[in-house]
Structure 1
Amino acid sequence: MIIGAGYTGLWTAYYLAKADPGLRIVVLEAEVAGFGASGRNGGWCSALFPTSTKRLAARPGAGRDAAIALHRALQATVNEVGLVTAAEGIDCGYHKGGTVVLARTPAQLARARAEVAAAPEWGPGDLRFLEPDEVAERIRATQVLGATFTPHCAALHPGRLVRGLADTVERLGVTIHEQTTVTELAPGRATTRYGVVKADVVVRATEGFTARLAGHRRTVAPVYSLMVATEPLDAATWDRIGLAGRPTFSDYRHLIVYGQRTADGRIAFGGRGAPYHLGSRIAPSFDGRNRVFAGLRRAVTDLFDGLDGVEFTHAWGGPLGVARDWFASVGLDRASGLAWAGGYVGDGVATANLAGRTLTDLILERDSDLVHLPWVGHRSPEWEPEPLRWLGINAGLRAMTAADLEERVTKRPSVVARLVSPLIGGQ
């Protein structure tokens, strides 16, 4: 039994059904398949992991080789998603164009160069530094001093992927019960408003909505990320912007932003900045915040010349899941039959696929390379009780905003960011 019909739950159902068609697999979903972050994200199918490789290597029992193995597994997962969507006929606009991260200030340029310099320590180099003229071959943004490029990312339509997965697993014999809210998990059972469902293995795949489960208020914090999208742009505008190869794009500011050129010719652009709500509350009214939407629209028009008069036709948002130590994890307690995966901090499009394959091997007791990766079995500490949780998370969001302002004023790397970085998965 799987709780949650997002990427994690559906990929787990998919690989279990493919591995053993005789299994009885049921997915319980409070809303509809893909209602959460899986259907609302920025469409980056990337090899990103919320915890730095250095911190992964420092985990007890892990080490450098294990950290590199997880890094390589995530890179391979980007390709795996493309192979499965093609094989299953899931039309989600998958296009592997890599990622360009722009450096637009001297402080951002220093971070870009440092990241490229450090990359070979963790295996063969596949992160490149791009000079401004090389950047312009991929994306023509303003104030560019340089950029980094990695090939390990694909752009896709998140909603089409998750709905396509739901259709696929149902064809494989998996039963999805939508509008079936689970309120409590226990070994061998899940309590719903309709009654108790029993199974040998219960997989918690609820990510940002985990706090709604009894006893899990402090397991994962729901933090909101918001997005905007333009109308389809004409050919002349795309000639000015570039992005012909559809790389996903961002820059080295501290308050995260992310964008892509969609398959239907829009700019879809998102970022953090919306507040965390006291008590890990989640509500439809939190999905939109006019101040953040306005800031995202300004950021897009600041990145690209010639967007005056372009209409922004869509704006939306939703919660993602953040573990206390910014360390995504996957695991199975064999004694209780309770399994879990999540804490992706917004990097879950590909990571959820890796989680689904790993959970499949754990459940079927297959001794694969995946079950020995350093995120398997990790248990993050609980978040602090309120109001400390509210104060800490929102202070961190404010600190990243302040760090970007500090760098614009001082032209040097932020002291604030250096102090906060260890608390949010950095070095």
Structure 2
Amino acid sequence: MTVHPALRDARPVPYWLDRADLRPDPAPELAGEVRCDLAVVGGGYTGLWTALLAKEEDPAREVVLVEARTCGWAASGRNGGFCESSLTHGFGNGMARWPEEMPELLRLGRENLDAIEAALARHGVDCHFERTGQIVVATEPWQLAGLEEEVEQAKGLGQDVTFLDAEAVRAEVDSPTYLGGAYWRGDTALLDPARLAWGLRAACERLGVRIFEGSPVRSLDAEGDGVRLRTDHGSVRAGRAVLGTNAFPPLLRRLRRYTVPVYDYALMTEPLTGEQRAAIGWAGRQGLSDAGNQFHYYRLTPDWRILWGGYDAIYHYGSRIRPEYDQRPQTFDTLARHFFATFPQLEGVRFTHRWGGVIDTCSRFCVFFGTALGGRVAYALGFTGLGVGATHFAARVMLDLLAGRDTERTRPRMVREKPLPFPPEPLRYAGIQLTRWAIARADARGGRRNLWLRALDRLGLGFDS
């Protein structure tokens, strides 16, 4: 296929991770037997926050974190850096599923974002945390009514959100495609994903967490009153364990029905010149996304690059995860064309990086929780691309569950209930592909959802990134 001219020099690696001067040295591989009070599987945000908060809660607690590769190398180092207060993958999804709980979930979400900001300051984590808010823009007429309705609902629950008409939204960020927007103030921070992961890793080590990298955990079993985790060259004997495995196969087989791995893709531009910045405005530096079913998300970096991602959500038969899937030329070409359609005034800008990564999605679009092996193990999965902020909340929930604590975090139905499972193959693949086709068709037909999508809506099922 023809490569878009703006992509010709783009490096096929995640921008955030492409900085050898900032990347920490690898931690040692696990060898022999290690004993601890709490074992954490996974060195992404979920595992890192859990280890950090566990040590803050009880400095005497022995905590071990085991990571298959290096901390932050997967979704935690490849995402767009949107740290949102929402625990429900957006206001609309929460209202559709737990309307009676939304006042409480919104409060918990705001407090969670505040707690993240405080923790970063407390531990000196410099991840360019910037509380910018977010604008969801309408680029098709059919999207306006939905945005207006959501804004009114949210304002009724005390949210700081404003509906913007075309003139008002273009005064914030100038694109000829914008017809209106919903401006959510204060509920979104932008940050550098890799700096966050590496900063949390360093904070964990300062508090005494033992971290082992290059050590994939092969099995998890109950042993005595605790658990045993085995790697290729060692094992961990722990009283309790937490699973933060994200899209990768969970160590508990029963959980494999609840999530599917989905590939998401992004581009990063070169730094904009002063003239280019003036052409688009964006002085508020808000995070942006559009209101389509197949949506884009985009934001500015501190040096005025634009990250542009989303739209395609790719599932491979059999839930396969392979390194070669991180690159998808047809998606990069689509993203580049959409970028210049949104910002024609930036014609001539080049992309410096192109990358993809796998995330875990579930049928209700947001994180779910649970315990296993008689309460010895806790897990949080299914973040569906909105986990930068929600992982901190998830860590606190899992620590509560392991301790048997009844708290305001463990009481909501959203925490106590699980999503409906995905069917086995080949029905899983067929259903996901049919849903992707139907979503694209709805976007092309003024948002009209066909019988298949309406049936999924009634069942509370879906597929998203």
- Summarize the Cα distance change of 1:203–1:83 in structure 2 as closer, same or farther, 3 Å threshold: same
- Which residue of 200, 205, 224 maps to 1:170? 205
Q: Please identify, of 359-368 and 31-40, the stretch whose mean Cα deviation from structure 2 is larger.
A: 359-368
Aligned counterparts of 1:206 and 1:311: Cα–Cα separation in 2: 35
Alignment-derived partner of residue 24 in structure 2: none
In 1, are the aligned partners of 2:362 and 2:463 still within 8 Å (CA)? Answer: no
Unaligned runs of 5+ in 2: 1-38
CA distance in 2, matches of 1:328, 1:44: 16
Question: In the alignment, which of 336, 345, 358 is matched to residue 319 of structure 1?
Answer: 358
Q: Do the aligned residues in 1 keep the contact of 2:258 with 2:362 (CA within 8 Å)?
A: yes
- Name 1:23's counterpart in structure 2: 61
Q: Is the 8 A contact 1:211 1:222 kept in 2?
A: no
Contact 1:182/1:213 (<8 A) preserved: no
* SS of aligned partner of 1:254: coil
Instruction: Identify the residue that residue 223 of structure 1 maps to in structure 2.
Output: 262
Give the percent of matched residue pairs that are identical in Structure 1 and Structure 2: 34
Letter in 2 for 1:43: G
Secondary structure, in 3 states, of the residue corresponding to 1:376?
A: helix
Amino acid at match of 1:9: G
CA distance in 2, matches of 1:134, 1:418: 33
Q: Is the 8 A contact 1:218 1:384 kept in 2?
A: yes
The secondary structure found in structure 1 opposite 2:312 is coil
AA of the residue aligned to 1:140 = D
The yes-or-no answer on 1:134 pairing with 2:175 is no
- Give 1:147's aligned residue: 181
Q: Distance in 1 between the 2:313 and 2:133 partners?
A: 27
Give the counterpart of 1:380 among 395, 419, 424: 419
Report the 3-state secondary structure (helix = DSSP H, G, I; strand = E; otherwise coil) of the residue aligned with 1:224: strand
Q: Residue 94 of structure 2 aligns with which residue?
A: 53
| Mapped contact 2:435–2:463 kept (Cα < 8 A) | no
Change (3 A) 1:347 1:309: same
- Distance apart, 1:229 and its partner CA: 0.7
Q: Aligned letter for 2:148?
A: R
TM-score, normalised relative to structure 1? 0.91
Contact 2:366 2:386 (C-alpha < 8 Å) held by counterparts = no
Bigger CA drift: 138-147 or 319-328?
319-328
Taking the aligned partners of 1:394 and 1:185, their CA distance within structure 2 comes to 33
Contact 2:377 2:402 in 1 (8 A): no
- When the two structures are superposed, what TM-score results if normalisation uses the length of structure 2? 0.84
Q: Name 2:283's counterpart in structure 1.
A: 244
Deviates more, 1:361-370 or 1:96-105: 361-370
C-alpha RMSD of the superposition: 2.1
Q: Which residue of 1 aligns with 2:49?
A: 11
| Change in CA separation of 1:147 and 1:104 when aligned onto 2, cut-off 3 Å | same
Q: Is the 8 A contact 2:137 2:290 kept in 1?
A: yes
Three-state SS of the structure 2 residue aligned to 1:74 is helix
Measure the CA separation in 1 of the matches of 2:85 and 2:433: 27
* Pick aligned residue for 1:157 from 182, 186, 192: 192
TM-fit CA distance, 1:326: 3.0
Separation of aligned partners in 2, 1:202 and 1:233: 46
Letter aligned with residue 75 of structure 1: R
Counterpart residue identity of residue 54, structure 1: M
Q: What are the Cα deviations for residues 207-266 of structure 1, in whole angstroms up to 9, with x where unaligned?
A: 111357655443321011110010011111111112222110011111121111111211
Q: How much does 1:378 deviate?
A: 2.6
Residues 331 and 340, structure 1, Cα contact 8 Å, conserved in 2: yes
Q: Give how far 1:402 is off.
A: 1.9
8 Å CA contact retained: 1:116, 1:129: yes
2:220·2:251 contact (CA, 8 Å) conserved in 1?
no
Q: 2:215 aligns with which of 169, 180, 193?
A: 180
Give the distance between the partners of 2:254 and 2:97, measured in 1 at CA. 28
Kindly indicate whether residue 324 of structure 2 is the aligned counterpart of residue 295 of structure 1.
Answer: no
| 1:102 pairs with 2:141 | no
Write the distance in 1 (CA, Å) between the matches of 2:170 and 2:401: 45
Find the aligned partners of 1:284 and 1:393 in 2 and give their Cα distance: 21
Distance 2:167 2:424 in 1: 50
- Cα distance between partner residues in 2 of 1:314 and 1:342: 28
Q: Give the whole-Å Cα distance in 2 for the aligned partners of 1:244 and 1:374.
A: 40
Superposition misfits of 4+ residues, deviation over 4 angstroms: 211-216, 417-422
SS class of match (2:421): coil
- Match status 1:113 vs 2:151: no
Work out the CA distance in 1 between the residues paired with 2:61 and 2:173: 47
Q: Secondary structure at the match of 1:299?
A: helix
Give the CA deviation at 1:315: 0.6
Query: Do the aligned residues in 1 keep the contact of 2:438 with 2:449 (CA within 8 Å)?
Result: no
Letter in 1 for 2:438: A
Quick one: which of 183, 205, 209 aligns to 2:248?
209
- Give the structure 2 partner of residue 71 of structure 1: 106
Q: Distance in 2 between matches of 1:269 and 1:20?
A: 41
Write out per-residue CA displacement over residues 36-67 of structure 1, whole angstroms, 9 at most, x where no aligned residue: 11110011101232372234427xxxxx1x33
Change (3 A) 1:217 1:418: closer
Report what 2:5 is aligned to: none
The alpha-carbon deviation at position 345 of structure 1 amounts to 0.6
Tell me what 1:410 maps to: none
Q: How many pairs align?
A: 414
How do residues 288-367 of structure 1 correspond to structure 2 at under 5 angstroms?
A: 288-333=327-372, 335-367=374-406
Q: Distance in 2 between matches of 1:144 and 1:27?
A: 45
